[in-house]
A and B are shown apart, each in its own frame.
Chain A
Amino acid sequence: MLEKTGRDAKPVDLAKWSETAPRYSETKRMISVFAGRPLPVIGFVIIALLILVAIFAPFLAPYPPNQMDIINKLQPPNTTHLLGTDSLGRDTLSRIIYGSRTSLIIGISVIAISSAVGIALGLFAAYFGGVIYHVIMRFMDALMAFPMLLLALLVASLLGAGMKNIIIALGIGMIAAPCRLMCGVVLSVKQNDYVMSARAMGMSNLRLMLQEILPNAFPPLLVMITIGLGAVILAEAGLSFLGIGITPPTATWGGMVNDGYKFVMTSPVLAISPGIAIMLVVFGFNMLGDGLRDALDPKLRGVI
Chain B
Amino acid sequence: MPPLLSVYNLKTYFHTYRGLVKAVDGVSFDINEKEIVGVVGESGCGKSVSMLSVLQLISSPPGEIVDGKVIFEGQDLLQYQPKGETMSSIRGARIAMIFQEPMTSLNPVLTIGRQLTEGLEVHLSMNPQSARERVVELLRLVGIPDAKGRLDAYPHQFSGGMRQRVMIAMALSCNPRILIADEPTTAVDVTTQAQLLELMQDMVVRFKTSLVIVTHNLGVVARYAERIYVMYSGRIVESGLADDIFLNPLHPYTIGLLKCVPQLGETRKERKLVPIQGLPPNLINMPSSCAFLPRCDRARDICRQKPWPSLELIEGQHYVACFRDGPETP
Contacts and interface: CB of A to CB of B under 8 A. Distances in A.
Question: In the complex, are there CB atoms of A and B closer than 8 Å?
Answer: yes
Contacts of A17: 281, 294
Contact of A21 (B284, B298, B299, B328): B284
| Majority-rule SS of B interface residues | loop
A301 interface: no
Interface string A1-26: 01111111110111011001110100
B153 interface: no
Interface string B1-39: 000000000000000011000000000000000000000
Contacts of A33: 17
Contacts of A248: none
Given A5-B259, A5-B330, A12 B277 contact: yes
A153 to B, nearest CB: 41
Interface in B269-326: 272, 274-275, 277-278, 281-282, 284-287, 294-295, 297-299
Nearest to B281: A21
B277 A2 contact: yes
Given A21-B281, A22-B285, A8 B298 contact: yes
B294 A13 contact: yes
Nearest to A28: B18
A55 B13 CA distance: 50
Given A20-B287, A32-B17, A14 B272 contact: no
A36 interface: yes
B330 A14 contact: no
Given A3-B272, A6-B297, A6-B330, A14 B259 contact: no
Contact of A14 (B278, B284, B286, B287): B278
Given A17-B281, A24-B18, A12 B295 contact: yes
A158 B275 CA distance: 74
A14 B297 contact: no
Residue from A3, A16, A17 with most neighbouring chain B CB atoms (10 Å): A17
A36 B282 contact: no
Contact of A3 (B274, B281, B294): B274
Given A3-B272, A5-B330, A6-B298, A12 B284 contact: no
A21 B328 CA distance: 31
B274 A21 contact: no
A33 to B, nearest CB: 8
A295 B16 CA distance: 15
How big is the B interface, by class?
20 to 34
Residue from B275, B286, B297 with most neighbouring chain A CB atoms (10 Å): B297
A21 B286 CA distance: 7
Nearest to A7: B298
A295 to B, nearest CB: 12
A41 to B, nearest CB: 16
A95 to B, nearest CB: 44
B297 A8 contact: yes
Residue from B281, B294, B298, B328 with most neighbouring chain A CB atoms (10 Å): B294
Residue from A14, A16, A21, A32 with most neighbouring chain B CB atoms (10 Å): A21
A17 B294 CA distance: 7
A22 to B, nearest CB: 7
Interface string A91-128: 00000000000000000000000000000000000000
A281 B281 CA distance: 46
B297 A10 contact: yes
Contacts of A3: 272, 274
A33 B17 CA distance: 9
A24 B16 CA distance: 13
Nearest to A15: B294
Contacts of A21: 281-282, 284-286
Contacts of A5: 259, 274, 297, 330
Contacts of A24: 18
A24 B282 CA distance: 12
A225 B9 CA distance: 52
B200 to A, nearest CB: 34
A9 B297 CA distance: 5
B296 to A, nearest CB: 8
Given A9-B297, A21-B285, 20 more contacts: A2-B275, A2-B277, A3-B272, A4-B297, A5-B259, A5-B274, A6-B298, A6-B330, A7-B298, A8-B298, A12-B278, A13-B294, A14-B294, A17-B281, A20-B285, A22-B284, A22-B285, A24-B18, A33-B17, A36-B17
30 contacts: A2-B275, A3-B272, A3-B274, A4-B297, A5-B259, A5-B297, A6-B297, A6-B298, A6-B328, A7-B298, A8-B298, A9-B297, A10-B297, A10-B299, A12-B277, A12-B278, A12-B295, A14-B278, A14-B294, A16-B294, A17-B294, A20-B286, A20-B287, A21-B281, A21-B285, A21-B286, A22-B284, A22-B285, A24-B18, A32-B17
Q: Which 5 A-B pairs have the closest CB atoms?
A: A21-B282, A6-B297, A17-B294, A9-B297, A20-B287
